[in-house]
């Protein structure tokens, strides 16, 4: 007779305990995975933000620090008496502060130009940035000719300075061969305070095509220019006196004796770039963009044009200008460096009320860092005061024009996607841009605060001014 055997299995209690343990392990693993995933996503967003912030400011600051390179001044409004006009506009730097609604086109009057995000700043810089200056043999009187009657002139430039040092003429030769009416900066051989800006005349110029730099052989080119042409009148306004220095009293403003450009020591192509926050107008995130213009005009340059996006997801650009002004941050107007010789006190620094323990941001040395900063006529110290007897407002010895030293650039980058459970602090203002904080505010509404952001501020020393 065979014995019957039984196979023992798991009891119900054992099975439930096992399932509970497995669930605990899996739950812990899922929790760790979810935490790691959130951390990784946050780190990725932060890395993207830092990259966007760095890229956004790198190109802008490079050209900002070189603003005025070649000799452009930073102390008067183009084409006006140096003692008049707001301090925020100069031949080298301009700031369109807090772009107003309804007037957001980058090129004024051109509805086909890009749309600037409302209440952001537009920074314009001028100088020669991407091409080297060309030196002229001013000891040879035949290297420069100019007819003040017709406004036409020419400069002869050699590839070798003093017979041995080669200079690269590629940029200006390419402009001539491309038939571009670029702006040319002509600086006097006698003083860099005398300079004019004229229009390149490709048809009257004589350059090789193609041009191949040769260190062993000297190449001579002739660059023709005009104060007329398509943009010559606009270019002339950027000259040192607000008019091309032709020496003719009839062509010169009455605030300065006529100065003549009797010889030229250096020439360069003058460039203008505008940095702005572009609204793509398709519902996507705004981005920092760069546009190149023919200097002093509202016409985009064919080389770069209107839209050269630098960084995505940049929501604000604010620029404040640091001056030696008459303000000292204490609601008084005794802040100019020259007002006393002791080299101490608030009158001997660029006073910043955001940094100093006392002071009013509306009355410190920084323009566009407070809601009270305005360049409306008569606003101390940024515009000249009304003159007696109905004369045009001018700056004076007791209330001189502020001198520009620094520019402070602040950009706001935001992550492309929100982080679940994250809420950023509310931003109430950046410089003089106050945020409304309502549901229409893309920075401070619920979705905006769920995105990580990077606020990056850099101060640039405007060494060329």
Q: What is the mean pLDDT of the chain?
A: 84
Return all residues near 139 (Cβ < 8 A) that are at least 6 apart. none
What are the domain boundaries of the chain?
49-125+273-386+394-461, 134-271
Q: Angle at CA 298, nearest 5°, toward 301 and 245?
A: 90
Instruction: Provide the pLDDT for residue 39.
Output: 60
Q: What is the 3-state secondary structure (H, E, C) of 14-46?
A: HHHHHHHHHHHHHHHHHHHHHHHHHHHHHHHHH
Instruction: Provide the pLDDT for residue 28.
Output: 79
Instruction: Provide the pLDDT for residue 95.
Output: 92
Instruction: Provide the pLDDT for residue 74.
Output: 66
Average pLDDT of the segment spanning 301-329: 88
| Per-residue confidence band for 294, with pLDDT thresholds at 50, 70 and 90 | very high
Assess whether pLDDT exceeds 70 at residue 44. no
Please count the other Cβ atoms lying within 10 Å of the Cβ belonging to residue 127: 27
Does residue 251 contact residue 261 with C-beta atoms inside 8 Å? no
The least confident of 177-191, 271-285, 388-402, 429-443 is 388-402
Of 312, 310, 290, 311, residue with least CA distance to 301: 290
Residue 54: enclosing H or E segment and its boundaries?
helix 12-65
Instruction: Provide the pLDDT for residue 146.
Output: 94
Instruction: Provide the pLDDT for residue 384.
Output: 75
pLDDT in tens, 339-376: 665 555 556 678 787 777 667 787 788 899 988 788 87
pLDDT in tens, 393-443: 777 777 777 888 999 999 999 988 888 888 999 999 999 999 998 888 999
């Amino acid at each position: 007779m065979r014995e019957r055997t039984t196979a023992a299995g798991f009891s119900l209690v054992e099975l439930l305990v096992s399932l509970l343990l497995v669930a605990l392990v899996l739950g812990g693993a899922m929790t760790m995975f979810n935490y790691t995933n959130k951390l990784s996503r946050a780190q990725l967003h932060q890395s993207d933000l830092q990259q966007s912030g760095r890229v956004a400011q790198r190109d802008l600051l490079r050209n900002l620090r070189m603003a005025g390179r070649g000799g452009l001044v930073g102390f008067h409004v183009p084409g006006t008496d140096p003692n008049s006009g707001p301090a925020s506009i100069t031949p080298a730097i301009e700031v369109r502060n807090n772009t107003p609604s309804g007037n957001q086109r980058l090129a004024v009057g051109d509805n086909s130009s890009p749309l600037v995000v409302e209440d952001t700043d537009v920074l314009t810089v001028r100088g020669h940035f991407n091409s080297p200056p060309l030196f002229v043999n001013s000891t040879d009187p035949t290297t420069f000719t100019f007819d003040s009657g017709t406004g036409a002139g020419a400069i002869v430039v050699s590839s070798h300075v003093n017979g041995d040092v080669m200079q690269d003429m590629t940029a200006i030769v390419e402009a001539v061969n491309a038939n571009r009416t670029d702006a040319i900066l002509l600086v006097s051989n006698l003083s860099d305070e005398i300079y004019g800006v004229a229009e390149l005349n490709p048809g009257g110029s004589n350059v090789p095509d193609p041009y191949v730099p040769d260190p062993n052989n000297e190449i001579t080119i002739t660059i023709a220019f005009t104060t007329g042409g398509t943009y010559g009148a606009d270019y002339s306004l950027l000259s040192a006196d607000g008019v091309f220095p032709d020496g003719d009293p009839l062509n010169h403003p009455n605030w300065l004796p006529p100065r003549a450009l009797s010889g030229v020591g250096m020439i360069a192509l003058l460039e203008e770039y505008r940095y702005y926050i572009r609204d793509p107008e398709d519902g996507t995130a705004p981005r920092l963009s760069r546009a190149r213009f023919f200097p002093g005009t509202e016409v985009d340059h064919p080389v770069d044009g209107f839209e050269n996006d630098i960084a995505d997801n940049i929501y604000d650009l604010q620029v404040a200008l640091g001056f030696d002004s008459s303000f000292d941050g204490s609601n008084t107007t005794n802040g100019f460096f020259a007002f006393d010789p002791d080299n101490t006190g608030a009158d001997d620094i660029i006073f910043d009320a955001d940094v100093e323990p006392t002071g009013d941001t509306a009355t410190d040395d920084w323009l566009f860092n407070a809601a009270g900063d305005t360049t409306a006529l008569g606003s101390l110290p940024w515009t000249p005061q009304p003159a007696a007897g109905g004369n045009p407002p001018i700056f004076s010895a007791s209330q001189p024009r502020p001198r520009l030293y620094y520019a402070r650039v602040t950009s706001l980058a935001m992550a492309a996607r929100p982080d679940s459970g994250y809420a950023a602090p509310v931003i109430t203002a950046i410089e003089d841009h106050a945020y409304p904080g309502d549901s229409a505010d893309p920075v401070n509404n619920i979705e905006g605060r769920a995105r990580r952001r990077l606020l990056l501020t850099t101060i640039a020393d405007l060494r060329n001014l």
